[in-house]
Amino acid sequence: MAKRLMSSKIIKTLSCMIAGIFLVSAILPFTVKAASENEINRYIEDIISCKEEEAGCKSNGEWIEKLSENAGQGSEWYVLSLIKSGAAGDYRTFSESLDTFVKNNNVSGATTRQRISLAMIACGDRENEFVRETVRDATGKLGVMSWIFGLHLLNNGCTPENYTDKDLAEKLAELRLPDGGWAVMGANSDVDVTAMALQALAPFYEKDKEIWDVCEGALALLSERQLEDGGFSGFGQENPESASQVIIALTSLGIDPLSDARFIKNDNTVLDGLLKYRNEDGSFSHVLGGAANDSACYQALLALVSLKRFYEGGSPVYLFDDLPAVSENSGSADTEGSEKTAAESIKSRENADREKQDTSYEKTESDKAGNEATLGTEENSRWSPDLKTVLMACVIGFGAVAALVLFITGRRNKKNFIFILSVCALLCVILHFTRIETGADYYRSTVEKENAIGTVTLTIRCDTVKDEDNKFIPKDGVILAVTTYSIEEGDTVYDILVEAVRENNIQIENRGSASGAHGMTYIAGINYLYEQQYGELSGWIYHVNGVSPSYGCGDYVLKDGDMIEWLYTCDLGRDLNEHFEDW
């Protein structure tokens, strides 16, 4: 009877050990929970602080001057956020820089013109001739996005002769797809575009019954698309930008993202989904655990400012009805004294993080000399510690605790200790021979092909931006030199690209249509260079034998001798002397 009782207790002890192992493995991935209202300001200040330090600035005013140097090239989003957050600064400087930019450059893209015009309005320069021309000529010229931003301009008091804000709202409602949302192309709505359309329609939401119905249908779609962690996917890939756009849409419509039941999944809000991508220095990454990404940062900043405005009872971020206050504050004598920085609270931590990242980057450079394609490998260090090692340590630890319990309670029979030792050894052996692949393991793996039918070559280049100040851009523009790969029957351009980035430790991000051969065949980023990072028409395209195919990389089946080029374009391929495949 005593032996049976002892065996029962041993079994219970071992059950606790095994349960503990699985518990530890379950909680290893750290999940960021949603912040309370009073933390939103800190998140905003941390992003601003991080960007100020990155630019070598010590105040909002200095940063605005620095942003003025890139006026017209995307820095407008940060300025819009600063203005709507109430940050003091001389915004006339930025407005003047925008004016100089449009006078010295041929700005032809419809949405680029609209973005610049919106920034001019935010800075108090609504009567600029460029704004009037844009309102008159750009609306509707580049698909749904030019209708969206055209409506934003009219929502802010622009009055063209040939149409009204109500006309544009009705036109945008007509463009809604059967599933309830909007998209740049295709028959399936996109989360980001749907959220952006709602932002533009917000002023009509409670005033027009037909627009209200349209918005409610789009909100139902967004609620359905929300993931269990509170976030959203765009082009088949979860990302912070989609969550940011939804937050802006909800707050613009007067909906609380933190309490509306439609947008809480598994106790997670949209803000939870966004904050997963927040780094220790306050910046935001485009992928979980990744480096700070400019697009993710400015969209997160705008979303957080929109949330702040909502709780303070202010106007939505795209409505600049508080322009007189901005105009009066601009350039005032006490502006410098009222400037605020958040850097002091996190300065030492940020410096330590940056020093560590710089050291890691330098080490990568020296280790990979002669092959600039492997830039950015410091990202893999974020996968440590090794999961298998941690689990084995847990097994040994629980075994030691069980043995100690037996010793203290007087159950010192050798058989008990041998049994515990045997179980621990067995679990360690199982873990040892179990494949637990981390991100670093994935990139180190190679593909062996036993039924090769030939070879192809592949290169990855970003010559169009090689002069940009970006540590992920090699000086010669070559991310991956021409390399030969074996192919099997049915291998596609996508397959070989994946093989290449795995063998050469190159970051890649896939998005796209689920109808493709691989589910996600649109390449949004390679080596931390993303679409729209260097202009709204920038991104990755591929050539086979010097020609741009007419279908996705996941559908292009290769043959022996094909030459694949992945190229970064700033102008939809026109800067690469594109040759398109004949239909």
Task: Tell me, letter by letter, the H, E, C secondary structure of 206-237.
Answer: CCCHHHHHHHHHHHHHHHHHCCCCCCEEECCE
Residue 459 CA: distances (Å) to CA of 122, 467, 478, 496, 505: 44, 19, 8, 11, 14
Which single residue is written with the structure tokens 């300065």?
Answer: 347
Residues 6+ apart with CB under 8 A from 537: 109, 569, 570, 571, 572
- State how far the Cα of 330 lies from the Cα of 332, in Å rounded to an integer: 6
C-beta of residue 110 within 8 angstroms of C-beta of residue 330: no
Top-level CATH class of 40-335?
mainly alpha
Backbone phi, psi, residue 480, to 5°: -140, 120
Instruction: Using alpha carbons, select from 308, 305, 223, 306 the residue that is nearest to residue 270.
Output: 223
Report pLDDT for 227: 95
Q: Tokens standing for 404?
A: 């100690």
DSSP for 263-305? GEETTEEHHHHHHTTB-TTS-BBSSTT--B-HHHHHHHHHHHH
Strand intervals (E) in 407-451: none
3-state secondary structure of 479: strand
Full pLDDT tens readout for the chain, 583 residues: 544 544 555 555 555 555 554 444 444 433 333 446 678 999 999 999 999 999 999 888 899 999 999 898 888 999 999 999 988 888 988 999 999 999 998 887 788 899 999 999 999 888 999 999 999 998 888 788 889 999 999 999 998 888 899 999 999 999 999 999 998 777 789 999 999 999 999 999 999 999 999 999 999 999 999 999 999 987 667 899 999 999 999 999 999 999 999 999 999 999 999 999 999 999 999 888 888 888 899 999 999 999 999 999 999 999 997 554 343 333 333 333 333 333 333 333 334 333 433 433 333 333 333 333 333 333 333 333 566 777 888 888 888 888 888 888 878 788 888 888 888 888 888 877 765 544 444 444 455 677 889 999 999 999 999 988 888 999 999 999 999 999 999 899 988 998 999 888 898 887 543 333 333 457 888 998 988 888 877 889 999 998 887 667 877 889 999 999 999 998 777 788 654 443 2
Report pLDDT for 343: 34
3-state secondary structure of 425: helix
Q: DSSP alpha helices (H): ranges in 128-208?
A: 129-137, 143-155, 165-174, 191-201
Report pLDDT for 416: 82
Q: Which residues pair with 529 in a beta bridge?
A: 526
How is residue 384 annotated by DSSP? P
Peptide bond into 385 cis (omega under 30): yes
Taking the domain 446-576, which CATH number applies? 2.170.130.30
- State how far the Cα of 161 lies from the Cα of 526, in Å rounded to an integer: 45
Which single residue is written with the structure tokens 């030792």?
Answer: 421
User: Do the strands 268-269 and 452-461 form a parallel or antiparallel pair, or are they unpaired?
Assistant: unpaired
- State how far the Cα of 341 lies from the Cα of 46, in Å rounded to an integer: 9
How is residue 360 annotated by DSSP? H
Report pLDDT for 388: 72
Count of helices and strands (H, E) across the chain: 21, 11
